[in-house]
Amino acid sequence: MRHPHSSLDDSITGLASDKRQLAPTAALAEWIVRGAISPLPLSTTTWAKHALLDWFGVAIGGSADPLVDILVDDALEEGTQGSGRLLGRAERVTSVQAALINGAASHALDFDDVNQRVYGHPSVAIAPVVLALAERRRSGGREVIEAFVIGYEVACQLGDMMGPSHDEKGWHATATLGVFGATAAAAKLLGLNVEQTTMALGIAATQAAGLQSMFGTMCKPLQVGRAAMNGLLAARWAARGFTSNAAALGCHQGFAATHSSSFEVKPLLQPGDAFAVEATLFKHHAACFLMHASLDATGALRDDHGITADDVRQLRVRIPRLHLQSCNIPEPQSGAQLKFSIKHVIAMVLAGLDTGDASVYTAQTATRSDLVVVRNKVQLEAQEWDASCYVAEVSIALRNGQTVRKFVDAGLPAKDIGLQ
């Protein structure tokens, strides 16, 4: 629901001398607090439950990752034991540390859900905060779902506003936009008012960070865990009176100005509009989602034509330029790097490996000589498509002289949950 900033009390203008600069921050705060969304539509609730179920699965699956062991050991060494639950583990830490560690664990496998509007993974920064607060406050299921949906919506709305340049500059949107979603969810569960929520968004803005250059390392999941933790802290500190720039999103040298060259204020959710969570994309390959269309197309050609790796003379993949930026590690040496090496994972598909099995992404797989041979046959061609950023066309030239092609759009919401 759109709320013009001119209707807000002047007391929350804070450091903004120009009310026009206040609009995106204040409008988001107003919507978070007063947006009339309760009760949620049944379809929204169903999608949210699936997103949360998916998140629990990937968080438990990633709970034994070495990066999680490091974070847990460090937290315990600092004496931060508390009542915060760590999914898939017996240790208990503070709620803040739980948000950090559960967030990092849920992104460790790179198997978590996706939404095109945020150019990344909304749930992993938001769900850890909802769990940490709900556990501590004994929140009911309806409160949890509504807070999650609100946080998800805010992250996606900001993704719309920031535009493609945010991602093109190399920011890791899952973390940089996820911190705002985490803050919104926490503000809702904590019952913050509009002024406090405005301050919380500003606190989040100055903590928003995450670099795509860290893909293939432990820092990629860490960035997401930090987004969850920082969002929780932003809301808690704002509740205690901590201040920030009330125009943090749109002001001079604010978040938009420093993180995007394509920022555009857009209206918030209107009555009757579908919530962003209803466009969630669920992964079936344990690798960067930008690869999914290419992997699906390759797998379909393999199955439809009975192709083996030995049959391939050359494989050409036409993909959006963004794919080359984010998932084109040329010679992966580790399982983490492998998840962002489109050529090598295509070779894995042709070899019949189960790319939906997280355990297959190892250093051994990354350096297998037979896969390297096939990888070297793959050519990538960047395309300036105006369609979904999750599309690809694969052409395979076979040794028998035949060429087969397949186009796939992986950016279509799941059809297996009874709503389409």
User: What order of strands is seen across the sheet that includes strand 391-398?
Assistant: 378-383, 312-320, 391-398, 403-409
Query: pLDDT-based confidence at 164, cuts 50/70/90?
Result: confident
* DSSP for 75-94, written as a single string: HHHTT---SEE-TT-S-EE-
Question: Rounded to an integer, what distance in angstroms lies between the CA atom of residue 385 and that of residue 338?
Answer: 26
Closest CA to 286 of 330, 343, 352, 345: 345
Is residue 8 predicted with pLDDT exceeding 80?
Answer: no
Element at 220 (helix H, strand E)? helix 219-239
Question: Rounded to an integer, what distance in angstroms lies between the CA atom of residue 102 and that of residue 347?
Answer: 32
Query: pLDDT-based confidence at 94, cuts 50/70/90?
Result: very high
Using one digit for the tens of pLDDT, what is the confidence trace for 193-252?
Answer: 999 999 999 999 999 999 999 999 999 999 999 999 999 999 999 999 999 999 999 999
Q: List the single range of 74-88, 220-234, 334-348 with lowest mean pLDDT.
A: 74-88
Angle at which helix 42-61 crosses helix 123-137, to 10 degrees, equals 90
Complete domains list, the chain, with CATH: 5-279 (1.10.4100.10), 289-409 (3.30.1330.120)
Please compute, for residue 323, the number of CA atoms within 13 A of its CA located in the half-sphere on the CB side.
Answer: 28
Whether pTM > 0.85 for this model: the answer is yes
Is residue 10 predicted with pLDDT exceeding 50?
Answer: no
Percent of the chain with pLDDT over 70: 92
pLDDT of residue 417: 58
pLDDT of residue 2: 32
Q: What is the largest CA-CA distance in the chain?
A: 74
